[in-house]
Structure 1
Amino acid sequence: MRKFKTVLTVAAFAALAPMANAAELIVNGGFEAPGSFSGNFQTIGTGNGLSGWNVTAGSVDLINTYWQPQSGNYSLDLNGNEPATISQAFTTVVGKSYTVSFGMAGNMDGGGSVKSITAGVNGDHTFTFDTTGLSHDAMGWQTRSFTFVADSTLSTLKFSGNGNNGPYGAALDNISVAAAVPEPETYGMLLVGLGLVGFVARRKKAA
C-alpha cells in the first residue's frame, strides 16, 4: 500500500507541474527581435516587417530610445503614421482557457491624453490608458490582461489602435499568452484527494 500511495503522490505532483510552468505561446511579445536598428524609432508598415507579427491597416512605430520600455530595449507605438492592427496566430486546444497579458502605456506627444486600443482573440476588449503627468522617462507602464476560451486549434491575437489618437497611440510591450493557471480551489481539491488517499491507506494498514 505504501508503494501505491507513493505512486499516487508522484502522479499528482506531475499533474501540477505543467500548471506551474505554462509555456509561452507568443513569439517576440517584447518586440526585442530583430532589434538591429539604433536611434529613436522605426516606422513599420503593413506586412511582416515586425518579427513574429503581421501588421495590417496602417503602420506602427518600433520604439528604441525614444521612450522608456516596460522591460528590455524595445516597445511599440500601435499608431505609427496612422493606427494599425497587429496580429499573431498560435496553436491552442479547443475548450481550454488562456490568459493574455501585456504592458500598456501611451504616447503623450499628442492625440489626447487618453489612449485606447481594442484587443482580443475570439471577442474584442477595450483598454484605455491616461498619459496625464507622465513623460518619456516615466511612462507609467501598467499590465493589463484578459482570458479567452479557444474555439479553434489555431487562434489569432489582435491589437488595434484608435484613430482618435492620430499618430500618437497606445504603447505596448511584453505581450504574453499562456494556458490559464487553475484557481486556488483546484489545488485545494487535489490536496484533499491526496489526504483521502493517505487516510484510506492508514485504515487498511490498521485493519
Structure 2
Amino acid sequence: MVALRYLTALIMAGVLASGAGTALAEPAPAGDTVGQESAASILAAARFSNGGFEYPSIQDGTVQPYSAGQTLGPWVVTGNGVDLKREPYWETAEGVQSVDLNANGPGGVSQTFETIPGLTYTVFYRLAGNPAPDRLPVVKTGQILADGQQVATFTFDITGRTREDMGYVQRAAMFVANGSTTELSFVSTTPGDAGPVIDDVRVSSCSCSG
C-alpha cells in the first residue's frame, strides 16, 4: 500500500516518463490508494522507452545506418534497415534525432514492452517523410503492428517539404494487448532508400490525446 501511495505521488508530480517518448497516463484518483489494475497499467506504459530515438546518440548533422538485428536502445531494427538522423541534418519533431524507416530498402523498428492482457493501448507518434526530391515515391507508406498483427497503416506526402520544414503530423493507433508483453513495430512499405520518418513515439493505457 505504501508503494502504491508513492506511485500516486510520482504520477501527480508528472515524473513517470519514458525519456524522449513520454508514457502518458490518466491522473490517479483522489484518496490514499490506487487500484491494482490502474497502477499496473501505468507502470506497463512507463516501461516503454526511447520513443524519441535519442539514444544511441550520434554526431550532430549526421546519418547513421542500422542493419536488421542491430538495436536503437530497446528498439530492434528489422527488414532492410533504418537510418538514424540527427539535427541539423533535418528537422525533428522532438529532441534532436529521428528515424527514416528506409535504409537500403523498406525497414522497420520493433520494441517489446510489458502490457496488461485485455487492456487497450494508444500509440501516439509524429510522422513525416524523407523529403529528398529525387527519391520516389512522393507518398511514403507504412504499417504499425502489434505482435505481428496490423493495427494501422500510415501515409505521408512529401510534396513541398524540405529538411528544414519536414511537416511532422501527429497520428495515433490503438491495440488491445493479448499478453503480458506486446511487440510494437513500425514498418515501412515504401520502396527505395527514402521512407517514412517517425519520432516522438509514446504509449498510453488511456485514450487521452498527446
Q: How much does 1:181 deviate?
A: 3.9
Distance (Å, rounded) in 1 between the aligned partners of 2:190 and 2:169: 22
In structure 2, the residue matched to 1:190 is none
Tell me, in whole angstroms, the C-alpha distance in 1 between the residues paired with 2:166 and 2:116.
36
Partner SS for 2:31: helix
Which position in structure 2 is the counterpart of 1:175?
A: 201
The correspondence for 2:154, drawn from 116, 127, 137, is 127
Tell me, yes or no, if the aligned pair for 2:141 and 2:190 is still in contact at 8 Å: no
> Contact (CA 8 Å) 2:120, 2:205: kept in 1 or not?
yes
Partner of 1:50: 72
- Which amino acid is 1:178 matched to? S
Q: Using the TM superposition, give the Cα deviation of residue 50 of structure 1 relative to its aligned residue in structure 2, in angstroms.
A: 1.7
In the comparison of the two structures, how many residue pairs are matched? 172
Q: Distance in 2 between matches of 1:177 and 1:74?
A: 19
Distance in 2 (CA, whole Å) between partners of 1:102 and 1:94 is: 23
Q: Which residue pairs with 1:142 in the alignment?
A: 169
Contact 1:26/1:175 (8 A) holds in 2 = no
CA 49–143 in structure 1, closer or farther in 2 if over 3 Å, else same: same
In 1, Cα distance between the equivalents of 2:181 and 2:121?
Answer: 13
Tell me the residue number matched to 1:116. Answer: 141
Cα deviation digits, residues 93-152 of structure 1 (max 9, x gap): 111111111110001211222110101215311100111111111111001111111111
Contact 1:24/1:176, CA 8 A, preserved across alignment: no
- Tell me which protein shows more helix as a share of its residues: 1
Give the CA deviation at 1:9. 6.7
Tell me the distance in 1 between the aligned counterparts of 2:162 and 2:30. Answer: 53
Change over 3 Å in CA distance of 1:49–1:163 after alignment to 2: same
2:112 counterpart residue number: 89
Equivalent position of 1:77 in the other structure: 100
Query: Any unmatched runs of 5+ in structure 1?
Result: 1-7, 183-207
TM-score (norm 2): 0.74
State which structure, 1 or 2, has the greater radius of gyration over its C-alpha atoms: 1
Unmatched 5+ stretches in structure 2: 1-28
Cα pair distance change 1:25/1:181, threshold 3 Å:
farther
Residue identity matched to 2:74 = G
- The 2-side partners of 1:181 and 1:59 are apart by 32
